[in-house]
Structure 1
């Protein structure tokens, strides 16, 4: 990644970008005999007293993925994931109802996605989904540690550009200059397969996902150039990304991805209800 930055970015910008590289976990299909750390689809294991997540007025959410925090090599990350327990991710796909989608300009639509955390020792049983949704095929996942870098519009990178010359900032402000770098990074990710991730930076499709969730937090109606938007965006970090994946029959719009983000202080305090969601597609 550092080599690509040196090749496609001005030297001072490349230095700033490389300094922001963070570890992430790439989730991929587990090979035979390999430890399973997460799952796509299948049936979730839920406690008897926990009701299936619901978007009022729209219907039940679909179960998307689970992550076993104890098996996950989270020591390699720079975020404070629980050492034990299970994280479950749910999402209401628009195809199940009237086509209503989750949008940053409409914060009330955040009810269409959910994170559920099950502490260690919780008694659970597999739960069939309620009427109005269907389970996705089960895919067992293993994890590899990868390096991840900020996207072109990431608020941390934009803040770092205050330290470079006016000429270098002008280079970054011209969207045409992003294409060679984005294409090179895209080729690296293409070799990895679907971009299912935990921690690190997201692999966005239509601009910074941190800005998306920050806009929802600020009420949905805020100008892109408002400093408050980018200040809020820097508080958010990726919790999990679930890509479109043919093996799990998951297609989010036009080959898009789902993103759950959380503030670091909320993650450390295990305030899962404070997580925010966005999605993007081509």
Structure 2
């Protein structure tokens, strides 16, 4: 029995209507969260330190040729499986980001973020620091290029969109979402059941899957992508005084919410920046990591 079946059986056993359980479960996602590895816990990757790169592969760099800071790596075979999150079953994922430069390019295609997939069986070596890494600077904070390494362990968390359980987010949600919320008559009880089945665990510093929330009051990635798509299709942004354009925009934003997932979310070593690498579920399943989009967010 997978986790979705476990939730449905538990909810129906408690008398919740089948159609309401299905609508709620359709919003429920299972994500892989990672944090510092304790004694006796399985190591699934690392944050900081030096990455293991395939033999002959150079340290990833920006389009301008500057090396990108290494954030973390995960061993996909060691990660716990999360339903609905089609991560590779083997190989490794390595994440690189220059958060300040990436933040200046808000559409997610800056060239200052990279995900490198290393297939299982590839010969790898611990990379030497790039010879010109000292030339990579963070202008607003004194952050070193190379950061201390610590090992990661991982577990599966149940995750719901931010408009479930947050009255302020629900009030600001689209009419499409409000209609869905109106159908969830037992919302609080269903949320409590999720927490009962999968009690939240503290200590995560790196997240794969789930939903990318709003950080620092700025638009979340789904809204940024929806706005860009709307402009490409209609030649201008939506006129929010026009009900039909509002409906079309809401549908576009909801589509991105349904079809895209954070490949990685993490607080950078800055006090002010938060990284979010988004990818469509189709591209994730097909290992098209070059189609990832990065949305660095300012936390204040």
Deviations 1:13-38 (A, max 9, x none): x9766651211122111012321112
Report which of the two structures shows the higher radius of gyration computed on alpha carbons: 2
Cα deviation, residue 277, structure 1:
1.0
1:60 corresponds to which of 67, 86, 111 = 67
Contact 2:99 2:275 in 1 (8 A): no
Kindly tell me: are residues 140 and 82 of structure 1, through their superposed partners in 2, closer, same or farther at Cα, counting changes over 3 Å?
A: same
CA deviation map 1:176-202 (0-9, x unaligned): xxxxxxxxxxxx98x713542111223
Q: 1:144 aligns with which of 151, 155, 171?
A: 155
Q: Tell me the secondary structure at the aligned position of residue 87 of structure 2.
A: coil
Offset, 1:212: 3.2
SS state of the match for residue 260, structure 1? Answer: strand
Give the distance between the partners of 2:63 and 2:30, measured in 1 at CA. 37
Residues 136, 261 of structure 1: alpha-carbon distance in 2 compared, 3 angstrom cutoff: same
For the 8 Å contact 2:108–2:293, the answer to whether it is kept is no
- 1:72 deviation in Å? 0.4
Structure 2 unaligned segments of length 5 or more: list them: 1-6, 8-19, 137-144, 164-168, 185-198, 241-245
> Which residue of structure 2 aligns with residue 272 of structure 1?
289
> What is the aligned-residue RMSD (CA, Å)?
3.5
Residues in 2 aligned to 1:118 and 1:229: alpha-carbon distance in whole angstroms: 33
- Residues 249-281 of structure 1, C-alpha deviation per residue, up to 9 Å, x if partnerless? x12x52x42111111111111111011111222
- In structure 2, C-alpha distance between the alignment counterparts of 1:115 and 1:58, rounded to whole Å: 16
Helix, strand or coil for the counterpart of 1:192?
coil
Residues 229, 39 of structure 1: alpha-carbon distance in 2 compared, 3 angstrom cutoff: same
Matched length = 236
Give the TM-score of the pair, scaled to structure 2. Answer: 0.67
1:87 aligns with 2:111: no
204 and 139 in structure 1: CA distance in 2 versus 1, 3 angstrom threshold: farther
Listed as ranges, the matches of 1:163-182 within 5 Å are 163=180
- Contact conserved, 1:45 with 1:126, CA < 8 A, in 2? yes
Shift of 1:217: 6.3
| 1:262 pairs with 2:286 | no
Q: Relative to structure 1, is the Cα distance of residues 270 and 158 closer, same or farther in structure 2, using a 3 angstrom cutoff?
A: farther
Report the alpha carbon displacement of residue 243 of structure 1 after superposing the two structures with TM: 2.0
1:240 aligns with 2:264: yes
The question of 1:71 aligning with 2:83 is answered no
SS of the aligned residue for 1:234 comes to: helix
Shift of 1:142: 0.6
What are the equivalent positions in structure 2 for 1:110-149 lying under 5 Å apart? 111-130=111-130, 131=132, 132-133=135-136, 134-149=145-160
Counterparts in 2 of 1:31-70, with a 5 A limit? 31-57=38-64, 59-70=66-77
